[in-house]
Amino acid sequence: MNMLEVRNATKTFGSLVAVNGVSLSVAAGELRAIIGPNGAGKTTFFNLITGFFPPTSGAILVEGQDITRLSAQERVKLGMARTFQITEIFPELTVHENVRIAVEVGSGFALRPWIGRDAAATVRRATEETLGLCGLESKAGRSVGELSHGDQRAAEIAMALALKPRLLLLDEPTAGMGEQETYQIAGLIRRLHKQSNYTIVLIEHDMRVVFNLADRITVLDQGALLADGTPQQISENPAVQAAYLGTAE
């Protein structure tokens, strides 16, 4: 059974067709990259998967369960976590607090007016582990709004990880980053994939990152599926080269 399966998803806004009958299967433990030129409908596709809005038609399944009509919160409970193209964090809180909130919500404490000593200790341990995984221990006490762009991205990924997701969706994790920061984030994603065995779907512009990390690549163009395959297959696909790689930056 596939971790994620999208069947024929379509999303229209008025007369504009943003995503047009795209299907996709992601196996457990796979790292899938979604690429495509600007306006190809990548983020809209992501939003369909994560429940930002419902698809106009088509179905979305996680581990065989149809989640097409579920709300974003419910999808999170089924093990889906995402980051955004423009970092979404809690800017006035410290890194530690950001991650702790995610850990607590992920542990089902969102409505708890109190937690026991043991649970609190578990939360603290999980928070510190996640911070460690993302290389943020040294910045734990700083307000996340003050951090560098790369660290903010890392913090957002840490929050997603704190939910202990089975499926992690990253929307352009290296967008707007310098060389050093890109390298740092790519390293983090690789660790998550290779060492922690997360199933990851990411949208990415940086082709070095994509071809370095991805097990398989899906190419979207003008809202439709253009190609799907291993990095090797994609780089050799003439249609992709014509539509995308040839015109890439």
Partner 1 sequence: MSTTTIETVLKAPTERRWLPAAIVWVVLLSAPLWLPLVGGYTALASHVLVMGLVAMALNFLLGFTGVMSFGHAAYFGLGVYGAGLTLRYISNSTLLALLFGILLGGLVGTVLGALIARRRGVYFAMVTIAFGQIFYYIAYSWNSFTGGYDGLRGFSRQPLHFGPLVIDIQNNGTLFYYFVLAVFAICIGLMAFLLASPFGRTLIAVRENQRRARFLGIAVDRHIWLSFSISCYFAAAAGALYALLNNFADPMSLHYSLSGEIVIMAVMGGMRSFWGPLVGAAVFVILQDYISSMTENWMSCIGLLFVLVVMFFPRGLLGVLQRRGSP
The alpha carbon dihedral of 110, 111, 113, 119 has a sign of: negative
Q: Is 203 in the site for partner 1 (CB under 8 A)?
A: no
Nearest one of 200, 169, 223, 192 to 49, comparing CA atoms: 169
Smaller CB separation from partner 1, 125 or 208: 125
The correct pick among 25, 28, 63, 109 for binding partner 1 (CB under 8 A) is 109
Q: Is 104 in the site for partner 1 (CB under 8 A)?
A: yes
Smaller CB separation from partner 1, 159 or 243: 159
Smaller CB separation from partner 1, 89 or 154: 89
The correct pick among 17, 27, 59, 115 for binding partner 1 (CB under 8 A) is 115
Distance CA(248)–CA(36), nearest Å, equals 10
Binding mask 149-178 for partner 1 (x = CB under 8 A): -------x--x---x---------------
Residue 212's alpha-carbon distances to 3, 17, 49, 162, 231, in angstroms, are 22, 32, 24, 25, 9
Q: Is 91 in the site for partner 1 (CB under 8 A)?
A: yes
Distance CA(163)–CA(59), nearest Å, equals 24
Q: Does residue 115 contact residue 109 with C-beta atoms inside 8 Å?
A: yes
Q: Does residue 44 contact residue 129 with C-beta atoms inside 8 Å?
A: no
Q: Is 17 in the site for partner 1 (CB under 8 A)?
A: no
Q: Which token pair is 109?
A: 């404490």
Beta strands at 31-35 and 199-203: parallel, antiparallel or unpaired: parallel
Binding mask 26-65 for partner 1 (x = CB under 8 A): ------------------------x---------------
Q: Which stretch binds partner 1 (CB under 8 A): 56-64, 133-141, 189-197, 238-246?
A: 133-141
The correct pick among 63, 97, 181, 215 for binding partner 1 (CB under 8 A) is 97
Q: Is 236 in the site for partner 1 (CB under 8 A)?
A: no
The alpha carbon dihedral of 25, 26, 31, 37 has a sign of: positive
Q: What is the DSSP string of 89-118?
A: --TTSBHHHHHHHHHHHHTT-TT-S---HH
Q: Is 101 in the site for partner 1 (CB under 8 A)?
A: yes
Q: Is 131 in the site for partner 1 (CB under 8 A)?
A: yes
- What is the smallest separation between the CB atom of 229 and partner 1, expressed in angstroms? 30
Q: Is 182 in the site for partner 1 (CB under 8 A)?
A: no
